[in-house]
Amino acid sequence: MKIERESDRVKKNFLKISSTFPSILFCFLLAPIIIPSFVKSACAEEYIQVPAAADLRTEFSDGVYSVEELVKLAKSKGIEILIINDHDRYSLEYGFWPLERILKKKVEESSLLKNGAKNYLDEIERVGKKYPDMLIIPGIESAPFYYWTGSVFSNNLTAHKWENHIGIVGLESPKDIEGLPTLNSNLSVKYYKNYIYNTAFFTLSLIFSILLIRWEGVYRYTGMVICLFSLLFIINFHPLRSSPFDQYHGDKGVLPWQETIDYVNSRGGMTFWHHLESASGIGKKGPISINTPPHPEDLIKTQDYTGFQAIYEDTIHVTEPGKEWDMVLSQYCAGNRDMPAWGIGGLDYHGEGESGIKLQDVKTVFLLKEKTKNAVYEALINGKVYPVRQGEDYRLVLDEFSISGTSGVKAISGDEIEVQGSPNINIKVSAIPPLPPFATSPSPPSEGGDKGEVKGGIKGESVEVQLIRSGEMINKFEGETPLEISFNDEHLPGSEQGKFKSGDKIYYRLNIYGKRPNYIISNPIFVKLLPGEIKEEPSPSSEAAEPSPAPEELKKVEYIIVEKYSAIRNGPGVEYIKIGRVDKGESLELLHIEEKFYKDKPWYKVRYKDTEGFIWGGLARKD
């Protein structure tokens, strides 16, 4: 992604505004009077910060409020963007073998598809026109797959992975929503090839039975029986399924969710993993057990999704340094992923106070150049957002997170910048009241003392800022709001020299913590390291001294031969990230035999392309 330099345009606009001294004076006099409803971003002058609430339900699925009631509530809390994620299909279906789709019990609750995708989109459009100052983004929460274990007769029937949810944004065609690859949903011709063979077999048996019926006696009765069962099995195995999977043949890993991600991408939408570590997916639904354990590893196992909920009202570990999110971002930097993963906020909101959740508790703050739906979509896909969890007394604001180099070009969250030398990192954090002035704050900011409202926010709230570089927390800053940090990575005490080299792509991100439950997770800024200027000064004896030949033993180069298709990792262990693959028979230069073993075999440090990597000795041998 290129950083757009808009200095000429900004300069031109500035000259227009400030061509006369009275206009400048007028602007200064007017500024304290007109206070915009959004917080201006110091990250880059052309961006404004607009708060949003995401992962919301309405009456179209299992929410309490209508779309319009939800909009009114959001306005009262200073929220300007709503991302509604009603369930596409909210059902469980269990059938008895061998006619699972005929002899079945289905429990279905209110959902977007049950109430009509067109009705859903039309209602959002209607309310959006009535409240033009609000942006209402139609979305879906999809549960593409679940599978059964146990039995109704043994009283241990369990639906697994039913609450593994993917959030979808950007599908605004009823046809696209109706075609989502979800179990127990609409008829579709997309997957007919998966089932046509069973249908063809029973179609042939039906034709054979019709021939028998034309005969007399026992042949006719036999033909009638075959005809009946053929018809039943044709209906049971019909090929017009909504999904290439079913719930009766065990766990399919992440394939059903990857199918949904690919489907949405093919139609120009975006996908976000929801509540990956929530413990609420384990329990009972009537006589049926529900088993959806935390599944943060799905961030690594799936590809090409847009992002995930980095903050929601539950315990989260994937955003800790070195965890799953950092693994994904490192894979992207190494060229092993086509897309990074962006963090957003999510509420799983059904009604005010339900499960202790209030609409203002978790926000996704958008960095927008203009407040339009297209700008919201652009911000989501480019990482121009940050999620924030707020408490009763204040909300943290990330006024600036930027990186620049010697060229003066500045990058913010979601950007990629080329830097020669060491990156300069600027961070500004403030605190503001949790609700706008026209709303009733449950706990107004304190007055007097060291804390209280100041220009730009609330003064004196303790803040800890963790600066994370490529999965490692490299520094921690502590202070009080408003907090400003300027940091040059070159001067980090104890930094590992030579860990990164010219041409590497790295990233920086922030975890910011205030008084519980207040915190922010920033999205990353990517930095491509360019070679710096190196001034070589010869030593006094360099001209006279002749280079001595290297000892013979240092010239010897050893190789290993790959015996099986193998992964190259960025460290000596299976817990390290894969940076590439090598085929059987390839030879690699051996740099070092590590002292770390796996299943009694050492790890080899090898030269891989233009870098170094590690391969397990059980998959390769010394030449």
Decide if 189 contacts 224 (C-beta within 8 A).
no
Which residues are within 8 A (CB) of 517 and not within 5 positions of it... i.e. 6 or more apart? 389, 390, 391
Per-residue model confidence as pLDDT tens digits over 227-282? 888 888 777 777 667 788 889 999 999 999 999 999 999 999 999 999 999 988 88
Q: By C-alpha distance, which of 416, 452, 107, 122 is closest to 290?
A: 107
Quick one: angle between helices 67-76 and 117-130, nearest 10?
40
pLDDT value at 530 more than 90: no
What is each CA distance from 221 to 205, 206, 226, 229, in whole angstroms? 15, 14, 9, 13
- Of residues 43 and 575, the one with the higher pLDDT is 575
Can the peptide bond before residue 98 be classed as cis, meaning omega within 30 degrees of 0? yes
Distance CA 431, CA 434 (A): 9
- Identical fold for domains 49-180+251-389 and 391-532, yes or no, is no
Q: How many other β-carbons are positioned within 10 Å of the β-carbon of residue 265?
A: 17
Q: By C-alpha distance, which of 387, 346, 357, 385 is closest to 166?
A: 346
Per-residue model confidence as pLDDT tens digits over 174-213? 999 999 999 887 766 676 676 677 777 878 888 888 888 8
Six token digits for residue 24: 């400048």
Mean confidence (pLDDT) of the chain: 82
Per-residue model confidence as pLDDT tens digits over 391-413? 999 999 999 999 998 888 999 99
Q: How many residues does the chain have?
A: 623
Per-residue model confidence as pLDDT tens digits over 357-383? 999 999 999 999 999 999 999 999 999
Q: What ranges do the domains of the chain cover? A: 7-48, 49-180+251-389, 192-236, 391-532, 552-622
DSSP state of 618: G
Write down the CATH number for the domain with range 552-622: 2.30.30.40
Six token digits for residue 320: 């800790």
Write down the CATH number for the domain with range 391-532: 2.60.40
Record the pTM.
0.73
| Residue 309 buriedness (CB in 10 A; 0-12 / 13-18 / 19+) | buried
Distance CA 6, CA 14 (A): 12
Name the CATH code of domain 49-180+251-389 (choices 3.10.100.10, 3.90.1150.10, 3.20.20.140, 3.30.10.20): 3.20.20.140
Distance CA 483, CA 616 (A): 47
